[in-house]
Amino acid sequence: MKKYYIFFFSAILTLFSCEKEIALDYHQVNPLYVAEATITQDGTKVQITTTQDVTVNTRDGHYVEDAKVVISSKKDYYEEELKYTRNGIYTGALKGEPGYTYDLDIYIGDKHFTSSSTMPEAPMVNSFRFAWMKMMSQRFLFGDLRVQDTPDQNSYYFMHIYRNNVGYRWAVMTDEKNRNGELQQLFQCTTEKKMDEGDSDALRDGDNIRLEVRAIDKRSYDYLYSMQVMDNAGTNPIANFTGGLLGYFSACNVVNYQYTFRRSEIQEE
């Protein structure tokens, strides 16, 4: 609610307000390890990096290449050490299956970090579209995603829109809003004015849009949800790994859809 309120109130105050970039003397901290780890129906992938200074804009030098990464499944006593490829990425052949719980162990030097995750059933997407919404004198572009909830279980979803293979907008949601029914997620993309001005953040004709929807477990959802709200709260996400490792591990069932963006195909609301 607060997000919409701030958005709405800010829109009204554009009549008076102004914005400007300011210089800040950022405090420095020792680098911390970060992992983004997934096991899907296609395989296992873990990327390990370190935090970087706020003013540093390259990830070079922040990839962790000497970690030992092990994924295991208690159900069939399978264990596999992932192989290092490049850019801090470790991959494995183990493919996730719904209902299985997987453990991930990461060893870096004398440090040991662990997390676990259970893979849900595959998500089902009902529809996705782009639509204009007019608010006062501005037209706002929204992505409107509808997902059919997996029946008779607590379900959690992670949705990610990629634009030309680069992450563009993402969100998480639970099924509590309409259990066993259709769930909706809106993505506020840009404004008509920004599109007209050719703003780099605005979608353009011919952009390749990939929609990725993952069914995730509660533990992954809690992490990603806390990451989603942290901008407003100014706090770090809750821990997903033991030992102080930042990031998360998610056993997720993934579906992907591809679109080519056409401004003329945006629906009027």
Member of 66, 77, 196, 233 binding another protein (CB under 8 A): 233
Instruction: Compute how many other C-beta atoms are within 10 angstroms of the C-beta atom of residue 142.
Output: 18
Strand pairing category for 138-148 and 101-108: unpaired
Structure tokens at 213: 């929807």
Contact 86, 59 (CB under 8 A): no
C-beta of 72 vs 246, nearer to another protein: 246
Q: Determine which residue in the list 12, 78, 81, 121 makes contact with another protein, applying CB under 8 A.
A: 12
258 scored as a contact of another protein (CB under 8 A): no
Residue 110 interacts with another protein (CB under 8 A): yes or no: no
Reduce the secondary structure of 215-235 to three states and give it as a string: EECHHHHHHHHHHHHHHHHCC
Which CB sits closer to another protein, 9 or 77?
A: 9
Count of chain residues binding another protein (CB under 8 A): 79
Query: At a CB cut-off of 8 Å and minimum separation 6, what does 55 contact?
Result: 26
The token pair that represents 63 in the structure block: 């990839």
Stretch that binds another protein, among 2-10, 90-98, 99-107, 191-199 (CB under 8 A): 2-10
Mark residues 14-53: x for contact with another protein by CB under 8 A, - for none: --xxxxxxxxx-xxxx-xx-x-x------------xxxxx
DSSP assignment of 234-263: T-PPPP-SGGG-EEEEEE-EEEEEEEE--G
Which residue from 96, 160, 217, 266 is in contact with another protein, where contact means CB under 8 A? 160
Is position 166 an interface residue for another protein (rule: CB under 8 A)? yes
- How far is residue 159's CA from residue 161's CA, in Å, rounded to a whole number? 7
Give the shortest CB-199-to-another protein separation in angstroms: 11
Based on the shown chain and the rule CB under 8 A, indicate whether residue 8 belongs to the binding site for another protein: yes
Contact flag: residue 198 with another protein (CB under 8 A): no
Q: Which residue from 85, 153, 178, 260 is in contact with another protein, where contact means CB under 8 A?
A: 178
Single-letter amino acid code for the residue at 229: V
